[in-house]
Amino acid sequence: MNHRRLKRLCAALPLLLLAIPDGSRSQGISKEVPVNAQAKSYGSGWECKRGFRWDGTARIAITLPENAYLSETSYQSGWECKRGYKSDGGSCVAVKVPQNAYLSGSSGEDWECERGYQKTRASCFPVLVPKNGYLIDSSGRGWNCDRGFRASGNECVAVKVPQNAYFSDSSLTAGWQCERGFQQSGDICLPIEVPRNGYLNTLGTGWKCERGFKREGGDCVSVKLPTNAYLDYSGSDWSCDRPFRRQNDSCALSQ
């Protein structure tokens, strides 16, 4: 290719680029930024200026209601209510905080009652703590009974601990539990009768049979081992040695 022909091709190159459709041009050619928009601080494209939002067809100015502020996290309206106010249609209305209550949460759109009060639909009523009771920070009745007392309706009544028992704070008991080796029977604690070749379980609330014995009713009876058998892991049953298999009460060779 001679020098004159190369010169003519270089002169025609700008015209060829203009003839290429927009979708086929290099990504490096930037588009014009629309009115009330600005180039993104990172990446490509543009975004609405502060105080404007995109409604799908145009960039419109955000109209702030009273007691509101511009917010980039609220994509639909472009604004949020100040703390202590909540959105109601297109405005911000004050949260009504009743007596003995305070605004809760970072947004302040709700309220909670102060200690010693319980929340109803629109007010806080005082927790009535009975004699021998105390306030607790939880829902429900808002109080518990002192040790040695239990709740009965709206009162704290003294716990009557029977012989061979002790106070218990468990909500599953009547305020007392039987000592180890005794079991509850109505309002008293009866001794657990451990049979021969048996022993109290870990909690002391019942009994188990020694290894080599099994439970039958209220007794521990010896496990009868057939020929070619051994006590299994439970100690109350047996398995057959290999290559024997269990058949009823004996161990037989596999057919």
Q: What is the mean pLDDT of residues 100-108?
A: 89
User: pLDDT tens digits for 67-84?
Assistant: 998 877 655 577 889 999
pLDDT-wise least confident of 47-51, 105-109, 142-146: 47-51
Which amino acid makes up residue 232? Answer: D
Burial 30-66 (b: 16+ CB within 10 A, else e): eeeeeeebeeeeeeeeebbeeebbeeeeebeebeebe
How many other CB atoms are there within 10 angstroms of residue 84's CB atom? Answer: 15
Does the structure show a pLDDT above 90 at 23? Answer: no
Q: What percent of the chain has pLDDT over 70?
A: 73
Share of the chain above pLDDT 90, in %: 53
**Is it the case that residue 43 has pLDDT exceeding 80?**
no
Q: Side chain identity at 82, as an amino acid letter?
A: K
The tens digit of pLDDT for each residue in 155-194 reads 999 999 999 999 887 766 778 999 999 999 999 999 999 9
119 has a pLDDT exceeding 70: yes
| Interval 216-237: pLDDT, tens | 999 999 999 999 999 999 999 9
pLDDT surpassing 90 at residue 18 = no
Among 6-10, 87-91, 127-131, 220-224, the least confident range: 6-10
Residues 6+ apart with CB under 8 A from 130: 143, 145, 154, 155, 156
Per-residue pLDDT at 218 = 94
Task: Look at residue 60 in the predicted model and tell me its pLDDT.
Answer: 67
Residue type, 1: M
Indicate the pLDDT class of residue 89, thresholds 50, 70 and 90.
Answer: confident
| Sign for the pseudo-dihedral over CA of 56, 57, 58, 62 | negative
pLDDT at 48: 65
Residue 14 pLDDT > 60: no
CB pairs under 8 A, 24+ apart, for 129-137? 130/154, 130/155, 130/156, 131/155, 131/156, 132/156, 132/158
pLDDT at 113 over 60: yes
The type of residue at 9 is L
pLDDT on residue 90: 86
- Distance, CA of 182 to CA of 220 (rounded, Å): 19
Q: Assess whether pLDDT exceeds 70 at residue 88.
A: yes
Residue-range domain boundaries for the chain:
159-191
- Give residue 40's pLDDT band: very low, low, confident or very high (50, 70, 90): low
Is residue 122 over pLDDT 80? yes
- How confident is the model at residue 3, as a pLDDT? 42
At residue 107 the predicted structure's pLDDT band, cuts being 50, 70 and 90, is confident
